[in-house]
Structure 1
Amino acid sequence: MLEDTKNRLQEWGEWVRSGGPSLGYSAVKLAAGSGGCTVPDDEALAVDRAVASLKHREPCMGKVLVNYYVRRWDYSMIGLDVHMSREKVRVLLRSGEAWVDGRLFL
């Protein structure tokens, strides 16, 4: 089930980068490829709401998720941004994925 959530987060990141009507990520520079995004808005919005809720509840964890899935940063880059080790970033990312999974599949 968690693999499905990771796939949905990847699609959501693509959707945000392609200009999807995101809930609070308008500051992210768009980097859409020429192919565009094929994720249905309703599916992407469900993930977007879950991530927005996570950012409200656990801001650092939400930031790690956005940096990884939207900005496509690696653990080292995220660690520099949030002032944490790569290992701590990995743990926060996995925790955030599990949290989003719980919100999507209540």
Structure 2
Amino acid sequence: MNLFGYNLTINAISVTLVLICVLALLAMHKVKGKKTSIEDFFVSGFAAASIPTGCTLIYCAYDPSKISLLSDVTMQIALVGAGVIFISYKTIRERI
């Protein structure tokens, strides 16, 4: 994918969004005086990493010829799956 003259992959975009999200979370917690747990980083990082993959999946649903864009996102799909399982487990545990 070319963006502003740079050839970007979904991996590079995912890592960039994770870094931005984690740094923003850290800054917001610092300003608010909240403690930051590893769980906060884990959940926000997985959420940020899933944005480019989710957008690509939606795009490929409308233009199946772009399925080749998904060849590099197997790790992101696995991480998003792990994140969904973690969030589901946490939600169920808190509700019981």
Place the TM-score, normalised by the shorter chain, in its bin: 0.3 to 0.5
> Which protein is richer in strand relative to its size?
2
Q: TM-score when scaled to structure 1?
A: 0.30
Structure whose CA Rg is larger: 2
> Which protein is richer in helix relative to its size?
2
